[in-house]
Amino acid sequence: MNRKTQVAVIAVLALGGSYVLADAFDLTPGLITTRPVADSAQEYPSIEPIGASDPTSPVFDEEVAVPSTQAVSAAITGFVDDSRLKGDPSVRVTDTQTGEELGALNETEARLPASNQKLLTSVVALEELGPDTTIKTTASFADGTLYLVGGGDVMLAAGEGDPAAVNGHAGLGDLADQVAEQLTEQGETSIKLSVDSSLFSGTDYHPDVEGSDTAYVMPMSPIAVDFGRNDSGQYGTDPGGDAVSVFADALSERGIKADVIDPATAPDNATTIGTVESASVRVWVDLMLTDSNNSLAEVLGHLVGVSQGEEGTFEGAAQATTDILTSLDYPMEGVKVADNSG
């Protein structure tokens, strides 16, 4: 072997050794590796069914002693003296098995319920509206004007709805798809567009809600996109107006020029050319209670009022709530319902 051949062989061996080394440390593709061999995947775990207690029947442990009246009194005193407590409390502790009162403090004094009020709203909404009821948002057309009619859904999505969501279940984009198709078939490419918010009337806020309190609830409207919140998460001042602007843009994207005009009530001769539906009232109630959502509580109250033949106002909602609770034999002596969110 001459010198040139020897050099070439050494170079090839050197390159080969470098590649093997690189392969071993996973710097180049290959079969060799220095990594530890991974364990094989474990079998997917199975789920063992468990028994469930009757949710309507409380479970009691008979071995747990009922606290003495002295212990309950001490607990109430500790609660009242806690610096974190704000306001004036009314307390009553009762043994639910025997009905015996174990301790009390100002138990006959009426208090503002705060968000406990939403429990009453849940009862009347499920009773009056029905747990499986959905709320419709419709588009009706008459004489060159399209009316975006609010039915109470204030959780519309700006675009496509999400069937798995509560907030955003129905979408204005989906409604625009239906409307654009219908108008195109009728030869309409330019229309006037108005929002119909006539389902609710009266004030935007309960009279007792003012100043900074308005940051915690939307102005009442039977239609809104994401509760009428803006990009910063704050409530806007005109949920219906914001919704119709979003709808106009959606129609424009689909070839329908929409000139937004003042709010108006759809006339009797208007034809419905599009409808989207919310998640069920049952799911609305769940969201309201989970998030303690003031806006949703007030909307449900207004819907209950309308369903009961009252006006879609705070006063109508309060009256309907009181009437339904009374009809269900709830003890209403001394109870004055003012709103539905607390």
Q: Are 126 and 281 in contact (CB under 8 A)?
A: yes
Query: pLDDT per residue over 108-121, tens digit each?
Result: 888 888 899 999 99
Q: Residue 10: is its pLDDT beyond 50?
A: no
Q: Where are the domains of the chain?
A: 1-33, 115-327
38-47, 104-113, 184-193, 302-311: which has the minimum mean pLDDT? 38-47
Q: What are phi and psi of 13, to 5 degrees?
A: -65, -40
State the burial class of residue 177 (Cβ atoms within 10 Å of its Cβ: 0-12, 13-18, 19+).
middle
Q: Kindly report the CATH number that applies to the domain delimited by 115-327.
A: 3.50.80.20
- Residue 11 confidence class, pLDDT cut points 50, 70, 90: very low
Query: In the predicted model, what is the mean pLDDT of residues 290-304?
Result: 98
Query: In the predicted model, what is the mean pLDDT of residues 130-144?
Result: 98
pLDDT of residue 334: 86
Q: Are 33 and 24 in contact (CB under 8 A)?
A: yes
Question: At what angle are helices 281-291 and 294-307 packed, to 10 degrees?
Answer: 140
Is the pTM for the entire model greater than 0.85? no
| Tokens at 257, concatenated | 């020029």
The dihedral through the CA atoms of 224, 158, 118, 81 has a sign that is negative
257: three-class secondary structure by DSSP: strand
